[in-house]
Amino acid sequence: IVTSQSNYAGLFGYNTGVIENLKVSNVNISGQNYVGGLVGYSTGTLKNVSVESGSVTGQDYVGGLAGQATITQNAKSKGNVTGRDYIGGLIGLAGGETSGSYATGSASGRNYTGGLIGSANAAVHECYATGQAHGTSEHVGGLVGYQAGAITNTYATGKVIGDYRYIGGLIGNKNA
């Protein structure tokens, strides 16, 4: 799917329901904002889903699985992700809880870049990231670039490269 000037790009562009028990491989997704290997923008639930391989490219809110996701359970992404702001190996912007999930591909962006999630506004439980996270500006983390919520039983092992400030092996900037 190549829509370099369009928003909400993915196998599902926009989701408000439940996407469950789905596996995709060899994705090649390119869009503008809200771009994901599985779904561009989701206010529903993503459960037992995976992106097994491929690449996802966009500007803002770009993730190996989802550009933006509300509830994510037992999800994984093994693809590489490239964009500008809010870039995550699994999710660009997590608006709700993420649990039992992981990412192994690389995530490269500018601000709010994380091996798992670019920016998480809710809890992250029992998750990990092993891919490289590279941000050329602020809020870069091996697991999460910016975190505002609880975080438990998580880890990151990938290389973290940051060029400015708020750079962390696990979290670039933790708030509350």
Helix, strand, coil share of the chain (percent; to 5): 0, 60, 40
Mean per-residue pLDDT, 25-54? 97
Which of 101, 93, 98, 109 has its CA nearest to residue 130? 101
pLDDT of residue 69: 98
pLDDT of residue 4: 73
- Provide the mean pLDDT of the chain: 96
- At 85-107, the pLDDT tens digits run 999 999 999 999 999 999 999 99
Say what percent of the chain tops pLDDT 90: 95
For residue 5, count CB atoms less than 10 angstroms from its CB and return exposed for 0-12, middle for 13-18, buried for 19 or more: exposed
- At 111-154, the pLDDT tens digits run 999 999 999 999 999 999 999 999 999 999 999 999 999 999 99
Which of 103, 13, 95 has its CA nearest to residue 50? 103
